[in-house]
Amino acid sequence: MSDTQKLDFSAVNGTTLASFNQHKNLIKRMLKGNSATCSECNKPLILQLPPNTHKAKPSEKAPGIYCAKGCTDIELDMEAVALIK
């Protein structure tokens, strides 16, 4: 590719931005205690949070939002989640 040719990512950027915003809004809703269903299988989504005491046993899964079938699998960085308001 020459220096004068430019790639057009506008279509991909729009789709990526829409997906990012959908995930961000889903995370916000789930952290507020609202329920949601998986967009693929319509099963309820489960919010898995880290243990909040030293005595609590750690879960098998990392903190995140999951569905029973595994269609939705969003792992959360809990330090970043603390910044979402």
Cα 60 to its chain centre, rounded Å, is 18
Q: Give the pLDDT score at 83.
A: 65
The model's pLDDT over 22-53, given as tens digits with 9 standing for 90+, comes to: 999 999 999 999 999 998 999 999 999 887 76
Which amino acid is residue 1, in one-letter code?
M
Higher pLDDT, 83 or 14: 14
Domain ranges in the chain are 10-81
Answering whether pTM is above 0.75, one says: no
14-28, 38-52, 70-84: least confidently modelled range: 70-84
Q: Give the pLDDT score at 5.
A: 75
Percentage of the chain exceeding pLDDT 90: 44
- Per the CB < 8 A criterion, the answer to whether 63 and 76 are in contact is yes
Calpha distance 79→83 (Å, rounded): 7
Strand partners, 44: 37
